[in-house]
Amino acid sequence: MTTDITALADALRTKAQLPADWDKAFRSVLREWFIPDRIWVDEHDDGHDVALDRATEPERWRTAVYSNRVIVTQFDDGDTVWPNAGYRPTSSCSMPSAVLGMLDVLDVRAGMRVLEIGTGTGYNAALLAARLGDENLATVEVDPVLADQARSALIAADCTSTVVCADGAAGWCAGAPFDRIIVTAAVKLGRVPYAWVEQTAPGGMILTPLKTDFTAGPLVAFTVGQDGTAIGRVAPLRVAFMELRAQRTSVFKWDGLRWDDPDADLTHTDVMPWTTLGNEAPQWAIAIAVPSCRYELWPRTCGRNPRHGVAWLADPLSGSWASVIPGLTKDRYEVRQRGPRRLWDEVEAAYRWWVDQGEPTLDQWRFTVSPDSQMVSLQ
């Protein structure tokens, strides 16, 4: 039983993905204790989740569990029944390197009290409890089925940490104050629950992924001040998490849009859409400036349009959309826009602003959460 965890730990350590102060806890908590018998996993990193059953394919299941991969444990809040894969994953056990990376950034020390938002399988909570002691860890899960499963798994692993079934956006005031709050769900920019700030001791940290409608955002470490204001800076780790359920938005489907719609307004641009939309630094500046906008990039080989790529923008709220394709000459692109918003014009303006600011990187942004407002600005 220990061979699998030892091999995984050694592999992560070789890649500098297992911090030394988490080595003992990681090797003592077997991931299989927290993984259901029936799961979904992207075995070949091709974006296709495969259903695995421990009863019928025990070795394949075990190989997946002890790999550095995300294990999906629920689709569509449980409405999709295994082996079917649903449209939206709603619970998973994150890849071990991401789990360890976040725990490293959390910077916990002996005696600290930690609140986890988003229990999921309970695996992350078990690692924290193994490091800090069961009594110093509480975890909150909004889904009652997941909360019960995680509580049972933790008890079976001899962990007596508190599992609370509640909306994590409210934190857990009964256990406050905490030295650290770690959030394993993405939070909308400008909507960091102030309850988390109130429940964190001055000088403590809130570690949470941020996001916008446009893109998954950075992992941000907020330091809570004596005045009740939390100042956040981007952590040196990139993660992508499911949305906090209280802030979840609908999944946008691109079906029905026609990139060459003859009724769309046709203009041209010299701004390359793939570089603009696909790169982290300008992407974040655009995300802040273009609320409710989504994007998608169709490559040349996309079966829906094999002749050339298409850069898509859409706003579900107004029904506006834009498509951008290569033009007839180099460095010139055709832009088609429909609806009350001119989405490409907004994106291009945000991109040019970013260029004028000296092309700041993601770690140059600063996030502020106060009792009355939330702001993001360049440092």
Please list the helix, strand and coil fractions of the chain in percent, rounded to the nearest 5, in that order.
30, 30, 40
Residue 337 and residue 251: Cα distance in Å, rounded?
Answer: 21
Matching residue, tokens 């799961």: 39
Let me know: does 307 contact 368? Beta carbons within 8 Å: no
- The amino acid that residue 128 corresponds to is L
Per the DSSP assignment, residues forming a β-bridge with 139 are: 116, 163
Matching residue, tokens 């832009």: 335
Q: Which two tokens stand for residue 150?
A: 């995680």
Let me know: does 365 contact 280? Beta carbons within 8 Å: no
152 is a catalytic site residue: no
Spot the catalytic one: 92, 94, 97, 320: 94
Alpha-carbon distances of 248 from 245, 251, 289, 302, rounded to whole Å: 5, 9, 20, 29
Q: Is 58 strand, coil or helix?
A: helix
Residue 84 and residue 128: Cα distance in Å, rounded?
Answer: 33
Let me know: does 336 contact 264? Beta carbons within 8 Å: yes
User: Which amino acids are annotated catalytic?
Assistant: 94
